Amino acid sequence: MKLTTGQAAWVICGMLAACLGALIMERVPPPADNNPVPIPLPALAGAYSMTSPLFCQNENCMSEVEDASIAASSSCPECGGALAERTLPESRILPKGTFVSHAYYRRAGNSFSVAAVVAGSEPTSIHRPQQCLPAQGLTIVGRSTLTVGNTPDTGSLALTVLRARRDGRPGRGEMLYAYWFTDGTRETPYHIARLAMQAADRLAGKKPRKWAYVSVSVPVLSRDDPAEARLSEFVRALHGAMTGAIGAPASSQD
Amino acid sequence: MTGSASIPRVFLRALPLFVGGALLAVLFGFLGNAQEADRAGRSAVLWMVRRWSGGGGDLSHGWLIPLVSGYLVWRDRAKLASTPKRASGVGLILVAALLLLHWGGVRVQQTRLSLLSLAGLTWAIPLSLYGAGVARLLVFPCAYLLFCIPLSFLNEVSLPLRLVAGAMSVWTLNGLGIPAVRSGTAIFAQGPADTLSFDVADACSGLRSLLAMMALTAIYAHLTQRNAARKWTLFVASLPIAVVANVFRITAVAVVARLFGQESGLKLYHDYSGFLVFGAAVLMMAAAGDLIRRLGAKGPAQ
């Protein structure tokens, strides 16, 4: 059957009207209520014990306070500014409803910095470290994927590992920055894979799930430092502690 | 009586276009965004325009894209008017698919999918109404609208380009007699009194973004090259051009720092390197276009 331009135009109008109806009927999905990671982070990860730092919210200071007695006073010992559980850039950037937890895990001279960000209802809650790290003055000089074996639940965990430098000078201030995404049941080292899984869930009309972004950073002490091996060993312990202790988020940090 | 009878006929012919235009305006001007909709609103178009204005100007070329597309359509207005017109069923199927994509974009909260749908509809609707002849003339102006979509993920894939630019810069500097070493994206050039350090920024720093360079090369190739193969060759060349332009920037800054001191080099870097890169990239793009034209002219007749 041949269509005239006028008939085709009315067919298009019909399709546009149908699409409009579908979009008007589209409802915002209910908020997710799963806990992808425990907030606050577990007090112990294997033999590693945890301390939680606080961060000065004065943009001229932005100090980190780890001493519990100082932190209890809620003011920065450097400048007297207010202290909070998230850094100032996080306070500014992360959307409403996002949970953040920072921690240090230590054992016999080994120290790891851990951050977990649990997304709120908006897909932009979790940001890509490739953008965030340079914004914090770090230069990314390499990227790789590392598989940590023998994790208690899934058997292995894949991480994206970024090699970064704080001051851009070789051999000084270098660190490994590893991260992965999890919704409590699925894990991926790739931002794009997380987005694809979220999109597939939404398209299928499944109940939305919260995703978390877990990062672990460790300084590279020297050129011969087996930092990647130390990182693997710690992540195995942390992952086991987290999957064994998933509980309700402690408090909203809106 | 013919005049008065023709008024309702004209009105009836134009009515679906007005209705369709209004529906399109509502679908994308008032709906289409589900990301942070309570804060950012539900308009896909406003979501896009906000990104053109923000992000340090990296997407500010977005304002020019619809104007360029509009100009290209206006330029071909005589050809468009004289092309035989016939409604197309394939076009209608494509419109349906693109509207499904728009709905899917809202459902999965990916506004970029809705914007992709909008760019596609600017081509699929004329195809449906007027057929393949008209659609063929509109391929480039409509495809060019894709550069409006904020594709921020391109910045994420720029790390390998930065590493290549850094390696080429060190090679060039050493060739010029300026001792330099690279570590990741950082470069250290030895001066007479001190060491100048740089971080190689995104592959086309100074051109605002890789996307802006690609958009510039796309329109230049379209206007200056005669056939599709040459146009695509020049367009693909935008990537190495962006890298080489950045190499030019780094080399120029290091040379100035070596000759006039680190302060002068850094001033050049901070204040003028963007212009240097832009100028260098435009010249390289023009040279590449000229080379492709000459090589094409020597080859078999098209």
B246 close contact with A: CB closer than 8 A: no
Q: Which member of B35, B95, B107 has the closest CB to residue A15?
A: B95
Residues of B (113-172) whose Cβ lies below 8 Å from A: 125, 128-130, 153, 155-156, 159
What pLDDT does B107 receive? 87
Query: Sorting pLDDT into bands at 50, 70 and 90, what band is B301?
Result: very low
What's the whole-number average pLDDT of chain B?
A: 82
Q: Which of B16, B26, B108 sits opposite A6 (nearest CB)?
A: B16
Query: For residues B213 and B228, what is the distance between their CA atoms, to the nearest angstrom?
Result: 19
- According to DSSP, the β-strands at B186-190 and B195-199 are antiparallel
Q: Is B103 on the interface with A (CB under 8 A)?
A: yes
Band (B192; pLDDT cuts 50, 70, 90) = low
**Residue A134 pLDDT > 80, yes or no?**
no
CA A182 to chain centre: 9
Minimum-distance CB partner of B87 among A7, A24, A95: A7
Q: What is the pLDDT of residues A92-106, one digit of tens each?
A: 767 677 788 888 999
Residue contact A9–B16, C-beta within 8 A: yes
Query: What is the per-residue pLDDT for B3?
Result: 54
The answer to whether the bond into A134 is cis (omega within 30° of 0) is no
- Are B33 and B46 spatial neighbours (Cβ–Cβ below 8 Å)? yes
- CB neighbour burial string for A205-235, b if at least 16 within 10 angstroms, e if fewer: eeebbbbbbbbbbbebeeeeeebbebbbebb
Q: Which member of B27, B91, B125 has the closest CB to residue A19?
A: B27
Cβ separation A13–B199 shorter than 8 A: no
> Residue for token digits 């942390």?
A238
Q: How far is A246 from chain B (nearest CA, A)?
A: 27
SS3 A209: coil
So what's the pLDDT on residue B95?
97
pLDDT at A173: 72
Q: Does B36 touch chain A (CB under 8 A)?
A: yes
Nearest chain A residue to B23 by CA distance is: A16
> What is the rounded distance in angstroms from the CA atom of residue B150 to the CA atom of residue B85?
34
In angstroms, what separates the C-alpha of A125 from chain B's closest C-alpha? Answer: 10
* Distance (Å) from the alpha carbon of B283 to chain A's nearest alpha carbon: 30
pLDDT top residue among B144 and B108: B144
Residue of A nearest to B21 (CA): A13
Across the interface, whether the CB atoms of A141 and B27 are under 8 A apart is answered no
> What pLDDT is recorded for position B128?
95
Q: Which of B35, B85, B96 sits opposite A122 (nearest CB)?
A: B35
Split at pLDDT 50, 70, 90, the class of A247 is very low
pLDDT at B299: 59
Task: Give how far A49 is from chain B: nearest CA, Å.
Answer: 34
What pLDDT, in 10s, does the model give residues A148-165? 886 666 678 899 999 887
Grouping H, G, I as helix, E, B as strand and the rest as coil, residue A160 is strand
- Which of B9, B23, B35, B198 is the best substitution to test chain A (most A C-beta atoms within 10 A)? B23
A106, A110, A111, A117: CA torsion to nearest 10: -80
Listing DSSP states for A49-76 in one string gives EEE--EEE--TTT--EE--HHHHHTTB-
What pLDDT, on the 0 to 100 scale, is given for residue A101? 85
Taking only residues 103 to 142 of chain A, the set having a beta carbon closer than 8 angstroms to any beta carbon of chain B reads 122-124, 128, 130-131, 139-142
Given A5, A10, A13, which is nearest B85 (Cβ)? Answer: A5
Question: Above 0.85 for ipTM, yes or no?
Answer: no
Per-residue model confidence (pLDDT) at position A132: 61
Nearest to B184 among A13, A95, A141 (CB): A141
pLDDT in tens, B252-287: 877 877 777 777 766 666 566 777 777 888 889 999
Q: Of B83 and B301, which is predicted with more confidence?
A: B83
Which residue carries 């979509």 as its tokens? B149
Q: Does A93 touch chain B (CB under 8 A)?
A: no
Residue to test with chain B: of A3, A4, A7, A16, most B Cβ within 10 A: A16
Q: What is the mean pLDDT of residues B62-70?
A: 94
Per-residue model confidence (pLDDT) at position A152:
62
Q: Compute the CA torsion angle B202, B203, B205, B206 (nearest 10 deg).
A: -170
Mean pLDDT score, B120-128: 96
- Asked if B252 and B269 count as a contact pair (C-beta separation under 8 A), the reply is no
Nearest of B234, B247, B235 to residue B164 by alpha carbon: B247
Q: What is the mean pLDDT of residues B112-127?
A: 95
Asked if the C-beta of B174 comes within 8 angstroms of chain A's C-beta atoms, the answer is no
B195 interfacial to chain A (CB closer than 8 Å): no
CB < 8 Å to B88, chain A: 8
Contact A128/B183, CB-based, under 8 Å?
no
Helix segments in chain A, DSSP class H: 5-25, 68-72, 88-93, 129-135, 191-203, 227-243
